[in-house]
Amino acid sequence: MNTIQLIEEYLVKQIDKLDFVIDDVLFLMPDSYFYPPEIHQEELSAIRDQLNTLIRKKNFPAYRHDRNIDYQYNKLLKKYEASLSALAVKKRDQLREELLVETDEMKCACMISLIKEYNLLGRLRAYE
């Protein structure tokens, strides 16, 4: 059996619990799926540029052991990671809401695509 047939078989068995399967799939998906296109917009791009500048500064011999540069870099990196995390949570919730109002056929088609793309079949729960 190929992967798509196995996924379809899993979804047929779990058709009554499809909303729970959606929650599981969205939980297991990597945050990076939800970054585009916002990751290329001005705010996050500016933070990345600042981080790159601080890295270059840290590697410059005159600033090599400057703790202030390390502090600025770590603070900015935490801000960047928090922004990405918040973006992923927001877009994950939006996708969940959109999927829950779709028909079962559309839900299954989306689940097949996402499960296959991220190889999630072995990590999904079986609901009884």
Written as six digits, the tokens of 110 are 């989306």
- pLDDT at residue 128 greater than cutoff 80: no
- What whole-number percentage of the chain has pLDDT above 90? 90
> How is the chain split into domains, by residue range?
3-123
CB 39 within 8 A of CB 84: yes
Average pLDDT, the chain: 94
Q: What pLDDT score does 97 carry?
A: 97
Q: List Cα–Cα distances, 50 to 16, 67, 71, 82, in angstroms.
A: 49, 17, 13, 16
3 state DSSP class of 104: helix
**Residue among 128, 117, 103 at smallest CA distance from 26:** 117
Distance CA 20, CA 40 (A): 32
Q: What pLDDT score does 1 carry?
A: 73
Distance CA 98, CA 84 (A): 21
What mean pLDDT do residues 2-29 have? Answer: 94
